[in-house]
């Protein structure tokens, strides 16, 4: 186990750039298939990326997992959410019973669901399928004091990395990030403001569906928190400790753990975006292993994606979380891999390739 911050940075330093030859090999294969060059657009880009990360000319996605990390947030004391904190453990149990949207969409994508308690303010009995990563029972109210201490912030990232390592031993070709935590859009909005340079008003949305007056209060709470803590974007662990969430730190760890092991990471929406910004700050190279599954309806998500320089595969106006967007992204990953794996080449199909016309640039 990584025991301290220094060892965490040493582990993160093991993340390596993706070899360019992997992209070129996949592109050569795609260009040889019976279609005009680049005519399958983003599917071809995705196929190239998966092939390069997995170091396989014909990647096969047998083992997919969506990681749902759950934790509570002390900032809910400020009345910034439409739902009470009791919903967090209730939804965790719903995940374990297979009754949530992510269960349906993960099954559709052929993915397993990994549910982990990183900081739910509830004592779960021993339950089949629930991974105990609990650091503490929720964060403190970050608009009044730090959300957690620095050691706890490090622990949340480390436990995310360890969670991925444990699943990797069972077989892991694709990772999806997911979350559950009432109040976590407030923390994510605060992190978004720090890393995108946007104001809280520009990156804060309705979350679970709050009324306009509650949204105004939510923005004010975040402004107060940023004024109180003055987070330094060059210190992602300090920023996480001041204004973050235990599951958000865990998501950063899942991303970093996937990148370290050479596994593509499909980001869900806004909360996953906050974890991704922290992962980027800890290790810029980790972004090359990320795929943005969709653009969330949360207003701050677009700014997050621009900071990460990622283009979303889908835009379905979703804002549920849980990893639902990541599961849908998996279905596009399957399609991309089937294209590169199963289409015939021009030579195999005995189809004439593109002609080069005299006097016309190729």
| DSSP states of 91-150 | HHHHHHTT-SHHHHHHHHHT-EEEEEEEE-SS-PPP-TTEEE---SSS---TTTS-SS-H
pLDDT at residue 76 greater than cutoff 60: yes
Give the per-residue pLDDT at 358: 54
Give the per-residue pLDDT at 359: 53
Please compute the mean of the pLDDT values over residues 235-242 and round it to a whole number.
98
Q: What percent of the chain has pLDDT over 70?
A: 97
CATH number, span 64-335: 3.40.50.10210
Name the more confident of 99 and 209.
99
Please compute the mean of the pLDDT values over residues 30-47 and round it to a whole number.
97
Give the per-residue pLDDT at 208: 78
Give the per-residue pLDDT at 207: 84
pLDDT in tens, 176-230: 999 999 999 999 999 999 999 999 999 999 887 899 999 999 999 999 999 999 9
pLDDT at residue 101 greater than cutoff 80: yes
pLDDT at residue 361 greater than cutoff 70: no
Which stretches within the chain are classed as H helix? 5-12, 20-31, 41-54, 87-96, 101-109, 150-168, 184-196, 200-203, 212-229, 236-243, 246-261, 270-282, 299-308, 324-342, 346-349
Give the per-residue pLDDT at 209: 86
202 Cβ contact partners less than 8 Å away, ≥ 6 residues apart: 193, 299, 300, 303
Give the per-residue pLDDT at 4: 87
Give the per-residue pLDDT at 355: 62
Distance, in Å, from the CA atom of 68 to the CA atom of 272, rounded to the nearest integer, reads: 10
Please compute the mean of the pLDDT values over residues 165-171 and round it to a whole number.
97
Please compute the mean of the pLDDT values over residues 167-175 and round it to a whole number.
98
pLDDT in tens, 330-353: 999 999 999 999 999 999 998 887
Please compute the mean of the pLDDT values over residues 104-129 and round it to a whole number.
97
5-58+340-349: CATH topology is: 1.10.1610
Q: Which residues have a catalytic role annotated?
A: 322
Distance, in Å, from the CA atom of 191 to the CA atom of 244, rounded to the nearest integer, reads: 7
Asked if 322 contacts 102 with a C-beta cutoff of 8 angstroms, the reply is yes
The pTM for the full model equals 0.96
Ordered by start, the domain boundaries in the chain are 5-58+340-349, 64-335
pLDDT in tens, 285-325: 999 999 999 999 999 999 999 999 999 999 999 999 999 99
pLDDT at residue 2 greater than cutoff 80: no
């Amino acid at each position: 186990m990584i025991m301290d911050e220094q060892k965490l940075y040493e582990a993160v330093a093991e993340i390596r750039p993706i070899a360019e030859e992997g992209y070129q090999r996949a592109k050569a294969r795609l260009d040889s298939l019976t279609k005009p060059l680049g005519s399958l657009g983003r599917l071809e880009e995705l196929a190239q990326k998966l092939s390069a990360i997995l170091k396989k000319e014909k990647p096969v996605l047998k083992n997919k997992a969506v990681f749902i990390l759950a934790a509570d947030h002390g900032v809910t004391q400020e009345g910034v959410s439409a739902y009470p904190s009791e919903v967090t453990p209730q939804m965790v149990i719903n995940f374990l019973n297979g009754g949530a949207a992510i269960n349906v969409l993960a099954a559709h994508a052929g993915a397993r669901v990994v549910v982990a308690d990183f900081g739910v303010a509830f004592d779960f009995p021993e339950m089949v399928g629930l991974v105990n990563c609990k650091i503490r029972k929720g964060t403190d109210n970050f608009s009044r004091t730090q959300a957690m201490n620095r050691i706890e912030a490090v622990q949340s990232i480390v436990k995310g990395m360890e969670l991925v390592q444990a699943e990797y031993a069972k077989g892991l070709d694709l990772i999806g990030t997911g979350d559950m935590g009432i109040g976590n859009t407030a923390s994510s909005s605060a992190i978004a403001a720090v890393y995108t340079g946007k104001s809280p008003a520009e990156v804060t949305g309705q979350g679970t569906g709050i009324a306009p007056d509650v949204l105004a209060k939510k923005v004010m709470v975040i402004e107060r928190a940023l004024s109180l803590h003055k987070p330094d974007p060059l210190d992602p662990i300090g920023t996480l400790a001041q204004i973050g969430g235990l599951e958000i730190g865990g998501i950063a760890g899942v991303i970093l753990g996937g990148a370290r092991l050479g596994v593509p990471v499909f980001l869900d929406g806004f909360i996953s975006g906050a974890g991704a910004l922290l992962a980027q700050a800890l290790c810029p190279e980790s972004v090359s292993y990320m795929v943005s599954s969709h653009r969330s309806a949360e207003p701050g998500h677009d700014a997050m994606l621009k900071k990460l320089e990622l283009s979303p595969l889908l835009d379905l106006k979703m804002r549920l979380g849980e990893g639902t967007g990541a599961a849908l992204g998996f279905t596009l990953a399957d399609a991309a891999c089937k294209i590169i794996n199963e289409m015939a080449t021009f030579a195999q199909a005995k189809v004439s390739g593109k002609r080069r016309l005299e006097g016309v640039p190729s």
